[in-house]
Amino acid sequence: MPPSSPFLQAADIQALMRAEHGDPFAVLGPHETADGLEVRALMPGARQVAVVHSRTGWPLSILARHEGSDLFSGLVPAAEARMGYSFQVDWETGHASRLEDPYRFPFVLGETDVWLLAEGTHLRPWERLGAHLREIDGVKGVAFAVWAPNARRVSVVGDFNNWDGRRHMMRLRRECGVWEIFAPHVATGDSYEFEILSARGEVLRKADPFAFSSQLRPGTACVVAPLPAPVPMPAGRAEANAHGAPISVYEVHLGSWRRKHHGQEWLDYRELADTLVPYVRDMGFTHIELLPITEHPFDGSWGYQPIGLYAPTSRFGTPGDFRHFVEAAHAAGLGVILDWVPAHFPTDAHGLGNFDGTALYEYADPREGFHNDWQTLIFNYARTEVRNYLVGNALYWLERYGVDGLRVDAVASMLYRDYSRKAGEWVPNAQGGRENLEAIDFLRRMNRVVGVERPGAVTIAEESTSFPGVTRPPEDGGLGFHYKWNMGWMNDTLAYAGTDPVYRKHHHQQITFGLMYAHSENFVLPLSHDEVVHGKGSMIGRMPGDEWQKFAGLRNLYGYLWAYPGKKLLFMGGEFAQYAEWNADRGLDWHLLEHAGHQGVRRLVRDLNNVYQHFPALHELDHEGAGFEWLVHDDVAQSVFAFVRRARDGGVVVVVCNFTPVPRHDYRLGVPVAGSYREVINTDGVVYGGSGVGNGVVESSPVGWHGKSDSIVISVPPLATLMWVVA
C-alpha cells in the first residue's frame, strides 16, 4: 500500500481517473510529504511503474498502485530524483517503455507572457500559445498552451498518449485563462488536439487555434510543426508595395489554377512554385494574390471559412512547402498577398465555436455572433484576447512567411452590426448606432501594429460601402488600410460593359461617375473571383454581341482597366478569356489557348502589364487628383472617352476608349503638349485578334480642342482602347 499523504485524497484519485481534475499538478509529479519526496503518476494501462535516474537509468523506486485506480505513487530518494528522473513502465500489453514525467517540469509561460496575454497586448502570442518544440532540463518535447478560461479541465491528446485525456491533463494559469503543459517525447509530425471538459460537463475535442500545421480533411487533428523562422522585409519588396508603385495583381485559387493526373489532383506548393510563379512573372504581373490558404474543413468555401488561421492548408503540402512557394515568388520579383478572413469562422465542432463550452471567440448573442447569410460565427471583437489572437495572426503571416500583404475579406460585414440584418435582428452599439465600434477598434489596431512592426507590408480592405477613411491613418480617424477595393467602380464598369453598345449612351454616367470619388481612397480596381461565380458567368461571357464583339469588348475593358487610376487585380482565367464560369473543382480551360482569340487576349494582358510598369504616368499618381485629367467625358452619342494620366515629372499617357463597335475616323483630340504621339497600346491590334484600325505615330497641330492649344486627328478603332505617349 503506498504511503498516505495529506495532499492526496480519495476525491483527487477519482477525479483523476474520470479526467475531471482541474489542477493535476497539485496531485501528480513530485511532492514533499512528511515522509519524504513522493512521486505520483497516473498511468492507465500500466502493470508496473518504476522511477529511475534520468541520466544513469539506475532504479530509484517501484511505485505502488492505489487500489482500484491507475494511480501509482511512492517515496524516492530526494537528492537523486531532483537531478532528474524517468519512469520505466511495464504495460499490460507486455511491452515496456521509458517515459519522462510531464508533471516534474516547470511552468511553460513566463510571468511577462502571462501578463501580456491577460492584458491582450502580446504582439506575438503565437510564440507562446499553441505547440512549441522545446528542450527543458535536457529533455526534448513540446510545450502546449491554450486559452480556455471557462473549462473545468483541459488535456492535450494525440498519438503519443493514445488520445487518452487522462495522460496529459494541463495546468491552468488563472491570471490569463491559459492551460499549459510540457509533454516530453512529443516531436515534429505528431498529431494532437485539445480535449476540454466544459463547466457543464461536456467533453469537447478541439483543434489548436494556434496550430502551425493541420491534417487534411476529413482529419481534424493538428500536427506539431516548428515555428517558422522570421523573414526580413527587403527594401525592394517594400518599394514594390508603395502607393506610387505599379501594382498588378493576379488572383489565384491554388486548387483550380491547374491540375494534374487528368484533373484529379491538385498541384502542391512546390509544383506551383515551378509553374504558377514563372507564369505570373512572364505575364508581367507584380503580385500574386491567393484565395485563403489558411486551413479550412470544406473545399467549397474556397478557404473563406477557416479553422486553422495559423496553418497553411495541408491540401497543397507542408508549411515548409508553402514557405518555399513564397520564396520562389520573391526570387522571381513577385509579391505575395494572402486573402485573410478575420470576419467570421465556421461552426464545425472541432473549431473555435463554443471553444471551452462557452461563446469564447464569438459573440454569445446570435444577433451579434451569427451570420445568417454564411451560417458562420462572428468573432467577438470586444474581447481583448480575441483581438490579440487576430492581430497576432496578421503579423504572423507577414513576419514568419514573409508575405507582402493581406487582403482583408468582408470588411463591410465587420463594420456594421446590421449588416444583412433586418430591423430587430441586430443589437445597436453602446452609443445606439449601427457601427461595430469594437471591430473598428480591432481593424485600427491591426493596421497600426502592421505599420509599426512590418513597415512596407500592406493591408487591403474588401469594403463595399462608403465607410469614410478606410485608407486614412488611424490617428486621422481612418481605419489605416493601405488600399481598398473599388467595388463601386467594379459594379458600374461591369454593368456598362455588359450593356449592348447601342444603349450605352443611356448609361454614360456609369463611366464618368467613378471619377467623382476615384481619389477619395487608395483604390485597387478588382475584377475578382466574385465576378465569375454564382451564375454571373465569365468575363468574356458578360460581353454583349457576337464572338468578335465579345473578344473586342473584353480587350477594351482590360485596356480601360489598366489605364484608369488605381492598382489592378484580375482573377485567373480572365487573362485568356476563359469561357466557362469559374469552377473551383476543376482546372482552368488551358486548351483554349490553342485558339488565336484567346491567345490574343493573353498577349494583350501581358503587354498592358509591361506598358503599365514602364510608364510612371500610369501608376505613379494613382491616388492623387493631379494624376488624372478628363479630355472627353461628354461624347455621349459616340460613347467615346478620353483622358490624360500624368507622372510626377510631367510625363503623360493619353488614353482614348471607344465603347461602340463603330470606328471613329478623323476624330480630333486635344492633347496636353505639342509633339509626336505614338501608340503604345491599341487593343484592336491584329496581334491581339482585332481589326487592325490604328494610327502609328501622329503629329499634333496647333488647333485648339477640348480646352487644349494643340490636338491630333486619329482613327479610334471599334470597341477599343488606345494609349499614346509623346514620341
Residues marked active site are found at 409, 462
Burial 336-345 (b: 16+ CB within 10 A, else e): bbbbbbbbbb
CB 529 within 8 A of CB 582: yes
- What DSSP string runs through 469-500? TTTS-GGGTS---SEEE-HHHHHHHHHHHTS-
Q: How far apart are CA 612 and CA 655, in angstroms?
A: 12
Beta strands in 440-579 (DSSP E): 458-461, 483-485, 523-527, 567-571
* 3-state secondary structure (DSSP) of residue 154: strand
How far apart, in Å, are the Cα atoms of 500 and each of 277, 505, 724? 37, 10, 27
Set of cell numbers at residue 213: 500545421
User: Residues in the chain, how many?
Assistant: 727
* 3-state secondary structure (DSSP) of residue 424: coil
How far apart, in Å, are the Cα atoms of 353 and each of 312, 344, 412? 20, 10, 22
How far apart, in Å, are the Cα atoms of 539 and each of 44, 51, 290, 350, 573? 62, 71, 19, 38, 9
What's CA 46's distance to the chain center, in Å? Answer: 46
CB 326 within 8 A of CB 342: no
- What DSSP string runs through 291-358? SP-EE-S-GGGTTSS-SEEEEE-GGG--HHHHHHHHHHHHHTT-EEEEEE--SEE---TTSSTTTTSS
Q: How far apart are CA 354 and CA 205, in angstroms?
A: 11
Set of cell numbers at residue 212: 502551425
DSSP-derived pairing of the beta strands 370-371 and 376-378: antiparallel
DSSP H helical segments within 564-659, as ranges? 596-614
Q: How far apart are CA 413 and CA 400, in angstroms?
A: 28
Set of cell numbers at residue 2: 503506498
User: Of the candidates 68, 99, 78, 87, which has an alpha carbon nearest to the alpha carbon of residue 33?
Assistant: 78
Q: What is the CA radius of gyration of the chain?
A: 31
Burial 470-492 (b: 16+ CB within 10 A, else e): bbbebeeebbbbbbbbbbbbbeb
Class of residue 383 by CB neighbours under 10 A (exposed 0-12, middle 13-18, buried 19+): middle
Q: How far apart are CA 64 and CA 49, in angstroms?
A: 8
Sign of dihedral through CA atoms 393, 394, 396, 400?
Answer: positive
Q: How far apart are CA 487 and CA 469, in angstroms?
A: 15
What's CA 354's distance to the chain center, in Å? Answer: 23
Angle at Cα 210 formed by Cα 208 and Cα 213, nearest 5°?
Answer: 80
The H-or-E segment that residue 560 falls in is helix 547-563
Q: How far apart are CA 109 and CA 102, in angstroms?
A: 15
Q: How far apart are CA 513 and CA 496, in angstroms?
A: 12
CB 21 within 8 A of CB 41: no
